Structure 1
Amino acid sequence: MADFDAIDALLAAAGQETPLPPAAERRALRDGLHVSRAQLAQALGVSASTVGGWEAGRDPGGEVREKYAYFLQGARTKLNTATAATAAAADGHLADDKPAEAESADAEQSDDATDVVVLAVAQPCVLCGQPARHQVEGFPQHLDPAECTPAAPAPVPPQAEKPAPRTTSQQPSAAGKPGRTAPGVKVVPVGRRLQTADAPDRIGAAVAAALGEHAGDVEAATAALVKRAIPDAMALLDDTRKGGRYDVVAHPWLPDILRKQSARGADQVWEARPKWSRPELPAGVHEITALDINGAYLSALKTHLPLGQLEHSTGDHHDRRRAGLHLITPPVWEHEAVLPNPIGNRDEPGPLWVTEPTLRLLLRVSGPKYGLCDPPQIHESWTSGGTESLLEKFRIALKDARDRALTDDDQVTLEYVKAMYSKFVSTLGESNYNRELYRTDWMHIIRAQAFANLWWKAHRAYDEGLMVVRAMGTDELHVTGDWRAVFPEGRAVTEVKVKDTYTVGTDPSTANKPPKSTS
């Protein structure tokens, strides 16, 4: 009988998994509470990429499924309550329940200060991290800028997140009299403020924690930080996206041009990677300097990126408010003897799919200011509404950390930051290492922007009277002449450093082609 009881218990438990809402609703519920993936992942004891996979359609199992379902059900209840309270307030049903001090505070706010709520319990301000008694558009913050001052960073674990901001479902409370807005000060919603400078120093905290964990062993700490660079970069991106104006589609449907033609093959997008050498040098001896462009991919994060799912269009027209991929017939390039072709080294004639930076580069150099070629012919496009500032706070946070590391000669932070931005770019495609963002279009666009940036440096050198000898990839430019009069020397992202120097003589075997580096 015991065996039959065990079987009955097994049958009773089978097939009774807790139901979950559709994948699209899961992210909407989390976003509605302003909870990041990293925060939810920490609460559930999983990785942020695992949460991203659930929101893309995969289902958890076992005990973690029960916990995830509990969160989603609680989020739905909380958001429904907030919606009902908002609707009732709009009808005037809650007017009598509102404390007098809250009414007084509301009367002093400008028209832009909508959705200001008095918090019963102080929450960390999203701008400075100090306790704040007010909530603006769902984010705790100080109304008086004089109170909004960042505290000294505390050594916190690298994955620690600030408590989730309270939603507008909380009712105003008389506990804690609301602060009064200084005369003439306009309360600005959180999404309009630049928050990077006041955000928690996630990078510094991670480096300090790694060094502490490895007893000051620089090599071991660096290796550990590089290994976790991808999830840490995504957590930093979440920090810098708080209060952002734009919603991003993280796992869009991809057109066929972005799908690999075979398991190990490439898709159809051409990134315009330059691999150019000047075909002939003038007679004589030439001292050539190979310049290294600092932080090429870091600088390329400032580029026009599509926000949503790509949409198809046809016709020879470019909308600068959108960004994406374009099928073009490139113009004839007649300056190969002195400058690389903006589309890179492509031997096959005819139309090709290029990215937004490549198209904008071609349109610019073909315009009246430069007149270097004819305009490209656009046949069709896959685009979405775009912006150049989408990753700007993320880029600035990484750049500032890199600058501080250079000043302090901090090699651990330098390697960590480099791994964060380089791996962020390289795993945006169909990668198993980053499941939070599947944006192959972004990967191609950022890479192409790095190539376009190198092309403009080559053009600047040529325009300033230097002889351009080579342009390779994203960060290598070989020139002759007084390059220091054109480019500042140093290790900052706006500077260049010397990678190599070599001499080309009049020997016929070397005069027509620059040799490989000998150092």
Structure 2
Amino acid sequence: MADFDAIDTLLASASSERTPLPSAEERRRLRESLNLTRGQLAQALKVSPSTVGGWETGRDPSDKEVREAYAYFLESARTKLDTASAATEAAADGQLADDQSADAEQTDDTDDVAMLAVVQPCVLCGQPARHQVEGFPQHLDPAECASAASAPVPVQAEKLAPRTAPRQPAPARKPCPAVGGVKVVPVGRRLQAADAPDRIGSAVAAALAEHAGDVEAATVALIKRAIPDAMALLDDTRKGGRYDVVAHPWLPDILRKQTARGADQVWEARPKWSRPELPTGRHEITALDINGAYLSALKTHLPLGQLEHSTNNHHDRRRAGLHLITPPVWEHGAVLPNPIGNRDEPGPLWVTEPTLRLLLRLSGPKYGMCDPPEIHESWTSGATEGLLEKFRIALKDARDRAISDDDQVTLEYVKAMYSKFVSTLGESNYNRELYRTDWMHLIRAQAFANLWWKVHRAYDEGLLVVRAMGTDELHVAGDWRAVFPEGRGVAEVKVKDTYTVGTDPSTTAEPPERTS
């Protein structure tokens, strides 16, 4: 029988009240005003730095004890800042005024900071900003910059203002002023640790020790934890970065799945092409495997902030995102795959930045292979190609060392880290830390665009291109070693298979069936 007394006791001890928390913007402001990193706070609360990032973009802690500890930190931080600010307010105001005056007179050549002649929307939060960093309007003081996930971003279709003056060498800047005894560190000037931890090597060593040197068991365990480990590595590589990674920004409806098991409206241009007809005779075909396709694709133009809508037939190379286009007619399908992949449906479609840039380049004067695509509307934000560059290099270096040392455990672990990182950026139950479906589509599309350019290079160098599939499969006939370096490195290719096809002009390029 049910224990009604136990139920009554449980209900009496339960409480529906939740510890109140300030707004996401205020949470971030309190932490940064104390010059604390997300990693430092995460360590104190025994969570990951990315979890703290999620709280600062609108999410709340789900665990009751963690929520109470976080609320205690925020309240204590506010008290500390208020007390110190009251004692030094006048002095701090004077220091800030001096520093702002100095900003107007000189430019920091190292950080590429310039004063804007006309106030422009901040690329991260959309609010008016008076400075630009690397050409992007941005607040220098984090306290002035609202999170892109919590602040309204104005819709704008105009391109970002160009630099108003060339960069000039400048003397070293004065130290940042102290407000209430706390150093204010502008965005882009956070110090980076001199020695980043070897997170990958430590994880592999720990897994091998835990499983008594059993390589297979250690590999399985590492692959299971690849996603949280990749996010922790991302946090490490973002230390000192100019731009915060926004964990959960608002996304337009085109990035929402239309059904539970369906897809969204974005077309990634995945190639699936076989040459429809081969020249007369028999041909020795080599199937090449492109190494580290997704790893290379991490170097792509990613939107920094919340996506903004525009409607015009114009492409701004300083921005990136998604574009509704009518693709041009492709007349080279007999020898080269269509840059938008296999799509039978006519009419406009939503493509990503890499696909659009590929089409625009092919329609330009250097190649002249098609007409320019017609752009109907776009969802874009100010972009940078180097947002994940340190993350990519860390993974690439670990991969290269693993290959050099014949370390299969590390190699499989690193592969799982970057492949799962890309595949779980969207609506995934396996990665709750970073929700950027737009990034997932962009990185995948960049991998497809990279493969297309390898196809074009093979064709341009006189190879017979037979097949191109997915992100990493290229079939060619001819002296491919004169075109592509052979090896296991990211910039190299390796042989996946060899086969012979062709006896007459009607023979297609389909490889034979394999029995093993």
Same fold (TM over 0.5): yes
- What stretches of structure 1 of length at least 5 have no aligned partner? 1-6, 95-109, 115-136, 139-166, 173-187
Superposed CA offset, 1:356-382 (max 9, x none): 000000000110001110100000000
Change (3 A) 1:489 1:13: closer
Deviates further, 417-426 or 33-42: 33-42
Q: How many residues get paired?
A: 434
Change (3 A) 1:222 1:192: same
Contact 1:428 1:434 in 2 (8 A): yes
Change (3 A) 1:338 1:92: closer
Q: Distance in 2 between matches of 1:362 and 1:451?
A: 13
Where do 1:66-85 residues align within 5 Å?
66-80=68-82
Matched with 2:207 is 210
Contact 1:294 1:495 in 2 (8 A): yes
Change (3 A) 1:495 1:279: same
Matched with 2:102 is none
Q: Distance in 2 between matches of 1:19 and 1:194?
A: 32
Contact 1:49 1:435 in 2 (8 A): no
Matched with 1:369 is 366
Aligned AA for 1:457? Answer: K
Matched with 2:507 is 511
Q: Distance in 2 between matches of 1:194 and 1:338?
A: 52
User: The residue matched to 2:476 in structure 1 has which SS?
Assistant: strand
Q: Distance in 2 between matches of 1:249 and 1:270?
A: 23
Where do 1:354-503 residues align within 5 Å?
354-503=351-500
Q: Distance in 2 between matches of 1:289 and 1:416?
A: 28
Identity %: 82
Q: Distance in 1 between matches of 2:335 and 2:9?
A: 82
User: The residue matched to 2:432 in structure 1 has which SS?
Assistant: coil
Q: Distance in 1 between matches of 2:41 and 2:10?
A: 33
Q: Distance in 2 between matches of 1:189 and 1:360?
A: 33
1:477 deviates by: 0.4
User: The residue matched to 1:469 in structure 2 has which SS?
Assistant: strand
User: When the two structures are superposed, what TM-score results if normalisation uses the length of structure 1?
Assistant: 0.76
1:191 deviates by: 4.4
Q: Distance in 2 between matches of 1:190 and 1:47?
A: 22
Superposed CA offset, 1:400-458 (max 9, x none): 11111111111111111111111111111011211111100000000000000000000
1:302 deviates by: 0.2
Contact 2:81 2:180 in 1 (8 A): no
- What stretches of structure 2 of length at least 5 have no aligned partner? 1-7, 97-105, 111-140, 143-176
Matched with 1:20 is 21
Contact 1:275 1:472 in 2 (8 A): yes
Aligned AA for 2:19? Answer: T
Contact 2:89 2:180 in 1 (8 A): no
Change (3 A) 1:113 1:283: closer
Q: Distance in 2 between matches of 1:45 and 1:92?
A: 39
Q: Distance in 2 between matches of 1:270 and 1:196?
A: 40
User: The residue matched to 1:69 in structure 2 has which SS?
Assistant: helix
Aligned AA for 1:512? Answer: T
Q: Distance in 1 between matches of 2:194 and 2:471?
A: 29
User: The residue matched to 1:357 in structure 2 has which SS?
Assistant: helix
Matched with 1:220 is 217
Q: Distance in 1 between matches of 2:342 and 2:208?
A: 44
Deviates further, 197-206 or 360-369: 197-206
Contact 1:327 1:353 in 2 (8 A): yes
Contact 1:82 1:168 in 2 (8 A): no
State yes or no: 1:292 paired with 2:294. Answer: no
Matched with 2:231 is 234
Aligned AA for 2:326? Answer: T
1:22 deviates by: 2.3
Matched with 1:58 is 60
Superposed CA offset, 1:116-142 (max 9, x none): xxxxxxxxxxxxxxxxxxxxx99xxxx
Q: Distance in 2 between matches of 1:423 and 1:447?
A: 12
1:14 deviates by: 4.1
Change (3 A) 1:111 1:467: closer
1:75 deviates by: 3.2
Change (3 A) 1:44 1:247: closer
User: The residue matched to 2:500 in structure 1 has which SS?
Assistant: strand
Matched with 1:101 is none
Contact 1:49 1:231 in 2 (8 A): no
Q: Distance in 2 between matches of 1:301 and 1:345?
A: 24
User: When the two structures are superposed, what TM-score results if normalisation uses the length of structure 2?
Assistant: 0.76
1:339 deviates by: 0.4
User: The residue matched to 1:511 in structure 2 has which SS?
Assistant: coil
Aligned AA for 1:62? Answer: K
Superposed CA offset, 1:212-263 (max 9, x none): 1111111111111111111111111111111111133221111110000111
User: The residue matched to 1:292 in structure 2 has which SS?
Assistant: strand
Q: Distance in 2 between matches of 1:194 and 1:464?
A: 47
Q: Distance in 2 between matches of 1:368 and 1:305?
A: 26
Contact 1:305 1:390 in 2 (8 A): yes
Q: Distance in 2 between matches of 1:219 and 1:267?
A: 37
Aligned AA for 1:44? Answer: L
Question: What is the aligned counterpart of 1:316 among 313, 318, 329?
Answer: 313
1:71 deviates by: 1.8
1:206 deviates by: 1.0
Contact 1:36 1:238 in 2 (8 A): no
Q: Distance in 1 between matches of 2:202 and 2:13?
A: 49
Where do 1:43-192 residues align within 5 Å?
43-46=44-47, 51=52, 54-55=55-56, 56-80=58-82, 87-91=89-93, 191=188
Q: Distance in 1 between matches of 2:365 and 2:199?
A: 46
Q: Distance in 2 between matches of 1:223 and 1:170?
A: 51
Aligned AA for 1:307? Answer: L
Q: CA RMSD in A?
A: 3.4
Matched with 2:5 is none
Q: Distance in 2 between matches of 1:423 and 1:31?
A: 31
Contact 1:289 1:480 in 2 (8 A): yes
Q: Distance in 1 between matches of 2:492 and 2:324?
A: 34
User: The residue matched to 2:382 in structure 1 has which SS?
Assistant: strand
Aligned AA for 1:69? Answer: A
1:61 deviates by: 4.7
1:59 deviates by: 4.3
Contact 2:312 2:375 in 1 (8 A): yes
User: The residue matched to 2:444 in structure 1 has which SS?
Assistant: helix
Q: Distance in 2 between matches of 1:343 and 1:333?
A: 9
User: The residue matched to 2:310 in structure 1 has which SS?
Assistant: strand
Q: Distance in 2 between matches of 1:330 and 1:9?
A: 62
Q: Distance in 2 between matches of 1:386 and 1:244?
A: 14
Change (3 A) 1:335 1:54: same
